[in-house]
Chain A
Amino acid sequence: MRQTTGPISRFGTLKSLLQRFAFLSLIGITFALMLIGKADTVLVDRARVAVTDAVTPILRVMSEPAGLIANFINNIHELAAIREENAQLREANARLLQWQAAAQRLESDNQSLRNLLSLVPEPSATFVTARVVADTGGAFAQSIIITAGTQSGVRKGQVVMTGEGVVGRVMQAGLYSSRVLLITDINSRIPVLVGDAGNRAIMAGDNSMRPRLRYLGNRTAAVAGDKVVTSGDAEAFPPGLPIGQVTRVDDGVVEVEPFVVRDKLQHVRVVDFGLAGILADQPPPATPQAKK
């Protein structure tokens, strides 16, 4: 028996030694990668872009059934309330037709006044619509992956919105996919204006559902129900985009409930406002360019 178990047990010992060596080496590599990620974000970003681009087609297929189920449930809800909603829509339609007439009148007024002043128009915003195929990170990071990349004109730093308000900013743009940093992420910092008085503050995400307001000049000024909009400082966002509403003011802590419900996101708009943005890869030019 010894003749047969001897080599086997030696082989077993060697195998377990090799396994232990592999384990320790890989643990060492994980720590090294975390350090590299902290020091060289460009390298890690490139890797993220490549992997996200490669995996997005799979995520797109996987997100399809959940999207179908969500749409089905929505349809049932809508069918149940269809009569009531129809009445509401008729009423809204009548009201909006009045607004349309008012808007057309104001537009023609506006146009003639612009002509009088020879005003140079601001560059208009363009947008790309994309599907949300992944909602990543769980408790530790808040980002989504969308199906539009540089091929569709998406660039790093662009603003991502829905009809309700700001979703976040493009953090990495691949060829066919992009990662959007949500306003609730711990790395998100947005200059905002709070309430009718327009108090300046920074809205900082912390990976929870409700970001907080920091550096609010007048802490007593914010009350629950105040609207929070982008301030346009630092050129990351244009001014006046809706973000959310103050829900809790407690002992210096001001919490904001975003208008956009993250879990309901199916499609988003990536808007190009023509801003340099603090997230752009290229540093802004030293001298401001003259407007043509």
Chain B
Amino acid sequence: MGPTFLQRVDLGARRLMPFGITLTLMLFAMTPTYITGLSHITPMYAFMAVYFWSIYRPDLLGYGTVFFIGILEDLLAGTPVGSSALILLICQRAVFSQQKFFNSRPFGLIWAAFALLALGASLLRWVCVGLAGPWGFTPFSTMIAGYLMTVAVYPIAAWVMAKAQMKLLATQ
């Protein structure tokens, strides 16, 4: 007997979860925290989500979805349209092409790889935003502070996403 209508809806919702979490994290990055000094170094939450899901559920987050999230982020954040989408797509491509490397590796190694990839992405976005805007480049130190914040927050974001993955995708 095939799955019932409700089961199919349930399955569909579960498969949309990586997209939903990535989108939520992207919007969460824009939510005011009211903590002094934090707005200038907001971590790249969407980048973390794309990295995580590209490793653990590459089947549920495609290039098109990532592109959509990146464009949405640029439109909302006021950054040059395409700059976020570009680094998210490159992050996903890099993970896809090294799928064997990421397979069953300890978290420390995954984190180190994230730090390396995030550094490249931050530099690339810094160059893109600097070239696309009329007034030149953001101070290098501000960009690096944002990057360090992203690397520092990744374990927390990864832990939350891992919990969500275990709870919601366990039945598949």
**A-to-B contact residues, CB < 8 Å:** 19, 22-23, 26-27, 29-34, 36-38, 44, 47-48, 51-52, 55, 58-59, 62-63, 66-67, 69-70, 132-145, 171, 179, 181, 185-187, 204, 206-209, 261-266
B82/A140 in contact, CB under 8 A: no
In Å, the complex CA distance between A50 and B135 comes to 26
Q: Say yes or no: A139-B40 contact (C-beta < 8 A), given A34-B80, A58-B27, A265-B32.
A: yes
A143/B78 in contact, CB under 8 A: yes
Q: Say yes or no: A30-B138 contact (C-beta < 8 A), given A48-B78, A55-B27, A140-B77.
A: no
25 contacts between A and B (CB under 8 A): A19-B63, A23-B63, A30-B89, A38-B80, A48-B78, A59-B27, A63-B31, A70-B34, A132-B32, A133-B32, A134-B32, A135-B32, A136-B78, A137-B42, A138-B42, A138-B146, A139-B138, A139-B143, A140-B83, A141-B79, A207-B40, A207-B142, A208-B40, A263-B33, A263-B38
Q: Is B107 an interface residue (CB 8 A)?
A: no
- Provide the B28-69 mask, 1 if CB < 8 A to any CB of A, else 0: 111111111111111110000000000000000011100100
B76/A55 in contact, CB under 8 A: yes
In Å, the complex CA distance between A185 and B37 comes to 15
B33/A66 in contact, CB under 8 A: yes
Interface centre among A34, A143, A171, A179 (most CB of B within 10 A): A34
Can you name the residue of chain B whose Cβ is closest to the Cβ of A63? B31
With both chains docked as a complex, state the minimum distance between the C-beta of B156 and any C-beta of chain A, in angstroms. Answer: 16
B146 contact set on A, CB distance < 8 A: 138-140
In Å, the complex CA distance between A50 and B163 comes to 35
Interface centre among B67, B77, B89, B146 (most CB of A within 10 A): B77
Q: Say yes or no: A52-B75 contact (C-beta < 8 A), given A139-B41, A264-B34.
A: yes
If A136-B77, A140-B126, A263-B39 are given as contacts, then 12 extra A-B residue pairs at C-beta distance below 8 Å, sorted by A number, are A22-B63, A23-B93, A26-B67, A33-B81, A37-B80, A51-B76, A62-B27, A66-B32, A138-B146, A139-B145, A140-B146, A185-B78
With both chains docked as a complex, state the minimum distance between the C-beta of A49 and any C-beta of chain B, in angstroms. Answer: 9
With both chains docked as a complex, state the minimum distance between the C-beta of A135 and any C-beta of chain B, in angstroms. Answer: 5
With both chains docked as a complex, state the minimum distance between the C-beta of B68 and any C-beta of chain A, in angstroms. Answer: 10
B97-143 at interface with A (beta carbon < 8 Å): 125-126, 128-129, 132-136, 138-139, 141-143
With both chains docked as a complex, state the minimum distance between the C-beta of B153 and any C-beta of chain A, in angstroms. Answer: 12
B27/A138 in contact, CB under 8 A: no
Which one, B32, B76, B90, contacts A67 given CB within 8 A? B32
Nearest 4 CB-CB pairings of A with B: A138-B42, A139-B146, A33-B82, A70-B34
Can you name the residue of chain B whose Cβ is closest to the Cβ of A16? B96
Q: Is B21 an interface residue (CB 8 A)?
A: no
Q: Is B70 an interface residue (CB 8 A)?
A: yes
